[in-house]
Amino acid sequence: GLPPVIAVDGPSGVGKGLVTRWLAERLGFHRLDSGALYRILALAGHRRDIDLHRGEQLAALAARLSIRFVGTTEDDEAILVDGEDWTHDVRKESTGALASLIATQPPVRAALLQQQRDFREAPGLIADGRDMGTIVFPDARLKIFMDASADERAQRRHKQLSAKGIEARIATLREEIRARDERDRNRPIAPLKPADGAQVVDTTGLPPAAVLEKIEALLQRSR
Ligand code: C5P
């Protein structure tokens, strides 16, 4: 059969990166950062002056990009696109906003579907995104949906960006995150929502260690 998948979905800044990196390390599985694919495609389109509402053109571009993910931790991560280091720009909140714009378009989602499924390799995959459990890997062995209050997510994202040397005002960030989530939750295709059978984990007020304890408990119960 196909290698097992664990799907981790949720809104921006909720801690999916922490959880999926930890799970990948813990189980020795591969990891898919599906949001990065949307970010890269949005940035590539923007840099080539493609109108970001032209889904078909973006889909054609997606097929031509060569993307490599290097490193496994947040600190040693590098994102190479056609051999160039795009890590810093891919992580900006403005790129997240462009990503959520293009992510509403069916041709874009269709173009990225197989690319995402290609990450499913032995011994298994931890998939991080918005529609991992609902659309991309509906047969995932374990589906986790993480959530947290918008204020807390804005604060976490702020900390994370400043650690990477990316400046952002917290009030602006909160507003950007709110707008992006609203778009992700309300779009007609592949909206952000818990998959059937997903385990919902609310991490509001929880330090990272407590979040990982909850995830470990879910892992044990799913065996
Ligand atoms: O997770 P990240 O913040 O990198 O995602 C950027 C944007 O890409 C999201 O706000 C969402 O609009 C889109 N996305 C998506 N489906 C996914 C992952 C990300 O639509 N599986």
Span from the CA of 170 to the centroid of ligand 1 (angstroms): 20
pLDDT in tens, 11-57: 998 999 999 999 999 999 999 999 999 999 999 999 999 999 999 99
State which ligand 1 atom lies nearest to the alpha carbon of 128: 21
The tokens for 36 are 């990065």
pLDDT in tens, 127-157: 999 999 999 999 999 999 999 999 999 999 8
Q: Residue 6 is inside which H or E element, if any?
A: strand 5-9
pLDDT in tens, 59-86: 999 999 999 999 888 888 899 999 999 9
Residue 204: strand, helix, or coil? coil
Pocket of ligand 1, beta carbon within 6 A:
12, 34-36, 38-39, 96, 99-100, 103, 129-131, 180, 184
Q: Which domains does the chain have, with CATH numbers?
A: 5-222 (3.40.50.300)
Atom 10, ligand 1: residue with shortest CA distance: 100
- Which percentage of the chain shows pLDDT scores above 70? 100
Confidence of residue 100 (pLDDT cuts 50, 70, 90): very high
The DSSP output letter for 223 is -
Atom 13, ligand 1: residue with shortest CA distance: 100
For the question of whether the overall pTM of this predicted structure is more than 0.90, the answer is: yes
- The residues pairing with 146 across neighbouring beta strands, listed in sequence order, are 201
Residue 69 carries which side chain, given as an amino acid letter?
F
Q: Residue 132 is inside which H or E element, if any?
A: none
Atom 9, ligand 1: residue with shortest CA distance: 100
Residue 164: per-residue pLDDT: 85
Count the alpha carbons within 13 Å of 179 in the hemisphere toward its beta carbon.
14
User: What distance in Å separates the CA atoms of residue 13 and residue 51, rounded to the nearest whole number?
Assistant: 27
User: What distance in Å separates the CA atoms of residue 208 and residue 185, rounded to the nearest whole number?
Assistant: 25
Residue 34: per-residue pLDDT: 98
Span from the CA of 130 to the centroid of ligand 1 (angstroms): 6
Span from the CA of 58 to the centroid of ligand 1 (angstroms): 16
Q: Which of 100, 104, 108, 146 to mutate to test the pocket of ligand 1 (most atoms within 8 A of CB)?
A: 100
Q: In what order do the strands lie in the sheet containing 142-147? A: 30-33, 125-129, 5-9, 142-147, 199-202
Is 49:97 a contact under the CB 8 Å cutoff? no
Average pLDDT of the segment spanning 171-188: 92
User: What distance in Å separates the CA atoms of residue 72 and residue 3, rounded to the nearest whole number?
Assistant: 20
Count the alpha carbons within 13 Å of 108 in the hemisphere toward its beta carbon.
26
